[in-house]
Structure 1
Amino acid sequence: LCWNVSPLSAAGPDAAELKASRDKAINFLKNSQNEDGTWTFSEAAGISALVTSALIESGVPLTDPTVDKALKKLVSFCQEDGRICSARSQHSGYETAVALMALQDANQSGKYTPQIKKAEQFLRSLQFDESKDIKPSDLEYGGAGYGPDGGRPDLSNTVFMIEALKAAGAKADDPDIQKALIFVSRCQNLESEFNTSPAAAKINDGGFYY
C-alpha cells in the first residue's frame, strides 16, 4: 500500500488556512464578550480567564480593548485571601487556578505579580496534606478540590493546581507539586510505587479517573 503524501501536506495544515481559522475564532470570542469584560455571565471568572488566556496566547496584544477589559475584570475578582473568583463562587480552586494562569500570560511587566503570588498561596492552602491531618498513606493526600469547602480532592482540580503553580514559577521538585503527583498517580489504573490501593490493579490499563 502506497500513500501519496506531499511534503507540504505532511508538514501540517496550510498556514493561511490555519491563520484564517484562528482569526475567525478570535473574532468570535471578541464579539461574545459581555460589557463588563466577562464571558457567559458576570460571575464566570473561570470561563473568562480561559478565554483571556486563549486570546493572549493567540497573539492578541494586551492593549487590545477586549483583552484589557478582560484583565481588569479578572483583577476585580481578586479576594482578600488570594482567591480570584466571585465571592459566592463554589469553585474557587479551579477558578483561581485558571485566573492565575491568565494573569501570568499578561504579566510581562510584572504588573500582576502581587495578585499571582496571593493566588498561588491560596491554591497551596487547598492541598490535602499534613496541614489538614492527611497522611501520605491516605488516598486523598496531595490532591486539591474545588475550594476550602470542597469536601474532597479530584484529578481535574489537582491538575489545574499543578499547572497554576508551574505558571507561578514552581519547579518540578516543589514539595507541593510532588505531593500532587502522588495524588495523580493514585488516580491511575496502574500499580506503582505510590499507588498500592486495592483498586490499582483491578483494570491496570494505565487510564485515569476523576
Structure 2
Amino acid sequence: MPSILHPLRYALALGLAATLSAAPLLSPPGQQLSATEQASPELPSRAEVRALADRGMAWMLAQQQDDGSFFDGPMFRLGITVFATLALLENGLDGDDERMQRAVTWIIGHQQADGGIYDPQEGLANYGTSVSLMILSRLDGVDPSIIERGRNYVLGIQNQDAESPLYGGFAYGANDRGREDLSNTAVSIEGLRAAGIPADHPAMQRALEFVQRTQNLSSTNDQPWAGEDGGAVYSPLPHRAGGSHGEATEAAEVDPTAPVPSVGTMTYALISSYLSLDIPADDPRVRAALDWARANYQFDANPGMAARHASDGLYYYYLLMATTFDRVNTTTLDTPKGEADWRRDLMQTIRERAREADGGVFWINESRRWGEGFPHLTSAYMLRALARIHDSLPETP
C-alpha cells in the first residue's frame, strides 16, 4: 500500500480527478459481482489485451507535457511520470521513441547530489529512484554513472540496525529512518535487482530478513504478533502494520502479541519480493503466501482492509496480483468458489473499469487514497497489469 500522496498536498488536483471520474465507463458495471461470478469462460486473446492496452497508452501519451512529464499538477509530477514511463516501456513503446526520450531526459534531470532521483518537495525519494532504476536499466545508451549513483542512494537508505525489527527494510528516503515498510522495500528490491544487484548481495539478504518479518508465518517470522495464515502486512511494527491509513493507535496501546490481519496488496508484494530474491515458488514461505492469496481471491475489494477502506489501493492490488501470478508462472488456481483463471478474471475487471476520454481509456479509483484518485497513476498501474496478462497468454497463430 504505497502512501504515495498525502491528501493535503494534492488538494489542488482534486478538481481534475472529480471531472475524470465522471467520464463514461467502457462497459456498464451493472450489479457489483465478483469477477469469478461474472467472468466469461473464454480467455481473452493477446490481441484483445493489446487493443485495450493500446487505448490506455493513447490516453497516457495524450497527457504528456511539453517538458516530457506526464502530469501537470503542482505536486508529484516526478512520481507519476516514472510510473507512467515504466508502464509505456513495458507495453512495448521503444526507448528510442522521441516521447520516451523526452520523458527519460526529464526524469534524469531530477537526479540529486546524493544520487537519488526525486523531487525534494514530493518526499518520495525511494519510489522515484527505484522506479527510475527499473526504467534506466531497460534502455541503451544511459550513462552508467547515473544508474550507479541511483543504486548507491537506495543502498544507502537501508536500515542496517541489527537490533531493530525494521532491519533490512527501506523507507521513503534518507530522513525516514524508523519508518521502513514492505511497500517501499518491495520497490527497492525490484529496482536494485534491475540495476544489477544480485540476490546474494548483503543488502538483499538484509532485505530478506525484513520481508520475512512482515509475513504472518511464525516459523520464519520472529515477531510476537506473527500468525499462521501466510499473508503479509505493511510493517513489522504492530501499530503500523495496517499502513498509514490504519487505525490511529499509539505504539504503547498495541498488544505486541495480538494478531495482525494480512492484506492483499502486501501479500502479493511479499511473494514478488521473495521471487526477486531468488526464493523458489515451492519454498514454504511462498507457498503459505500463495495459499492466503487463493483463499482471499477477489476483485471488488483489497482483501484484509477494513470495510470502510475496502477500495483503498485496489488498483495497486490488481497490479501486484498480475505481477505475482505471472512471475510464479501460474494461470489457474483453486479458490473458495472453484477453479479460477486470474488472466480472464483480471482482464474482465480491468475492461469493465476502463473509462473513455481523449480518444483512449483511463482508470481511476473512487477511493483516492495512495494516489489512486489520479488517473495518471492508476492508469499506469493498469497498463503494467495488462502487459503481464498479455505476456502470460498463449501466442495465437
Question: Scaled by the length of structure 1, what TM-score is found?
Answer: 0.85
Q: Unpaired segments of 5 or more residues in structure 1?
A: 1-8
SS, match of residue 137 in structure 2: helix
What is the match of residue 206 of structure 1?
Answer: 230
Q: Tell me which moved more, 30-39 or 14-23.
A: 14-23
- Give the structure 2 partner of residue 14 of structure 1: 45
Q: Which residue of 1 aligns with 2:18?
A: none
Kept after mapping to 2: 8 A contact 1:45/1:99: no
Q: Which has the higher contact order (CA 8 A, sep 6+)?
A: 2
The partner residue of 1:147 within 137, 149, 173 is 173
Deviations 1:56-85 (A, max 9, x none): 121111232221110110111111111001
Work out whether 1:171 is the aligned partner of 2:198. yes
Does residue 72 in structure 1 map to residue 105 in structure 2? Answer: yes
Q: Please, which of 55, 58, 61 is the counterpart of residue 27 of structure 1?
A: 58
Structure 2 partner of 1:189: 216
Find the aligned partners of 2:186 and 2:47 in 1 and give their Cα distance: 34
- Distance (Å, rounded) in 1 between the aligned partners of 2:173 and 2:123: 7
Structure 1 residue runs of 4+, over 3 Å off? none
Q: In the alignment, residue 168 of structure 2 is paired with which amino acid?
A: G
* In 1, Cα distance between equivalents of 2:49 and 2:127: 30
TM-fit CA distance, 1:103:
1.3
Matched AA of 1:72: T
Among residues 111, 125, 128, which one is paired with 1:95 in the alignment?
128
Q: Secondary structure at the match of 1:114?
A: helix
Residue 200 of structure 1, CA deviation: 1.0
**Structure 2 matches for 1:33-112, cutoff 5 A?**
33-40=64-71, 41=73, 43-106=76-139, 108-109=140-141, 111-112=142-143
Displacement of 1:192: 2.7
User: What is the CA distance between 1:36 and its match in structure 2?
Assistant: 1.7
Q: Give the AA of the match of 2:68.
A: G
For 1:100 and 1:122, locate their aligned partners in 2 and report how far apart those are by CA, in whole Å: 11
Give the SS at the match of 2:191.
helix
Aligned partners of 2:58 and 2:101: how far apart in 1? 15
Match of 2:168, SS state, is coil
Q: Distance in 2 between matches of 1:30 and 1:39?
A: 8
What one-letter code is carried by the residue in structure 1 that aligns with 2:205? Q
Q: Letter of the aligned partner of 1:179 in structure 2?
A: R
Identify the residue that residue 4 of structure 1 maps to in structure 2: none
Contact 1:97 / 1:161 at 8 angstroms: preserved in 2? yes
Counterpart of 1:60, as a letter, is L
Q: Distance in 2 between matches of 1:35 and 1:161?
A: 30
Q: 1:149 corresponds to which letter in structure 2?
A: N
Which one is further off, 148-157 or 43-52? Answer: 43-52
Identity of aligned residues (%): 35
Contact 1:57 1:105 in 2 (8 A): no
Structure 1 residue 18: Cα displacement: 2.1
> Is the 1:93–1:123 contact (alpha carbons within 8 Å) kept by the matching residues of 2?
yes
Alpha-carbon distance in structure 2 between the residues aligned to 1:98 and 1:149: 19
Unpaired runs of at least 5, structure 2: 1-40, 235-397
Aligned partner of 1:126 in structure 2 is: 157
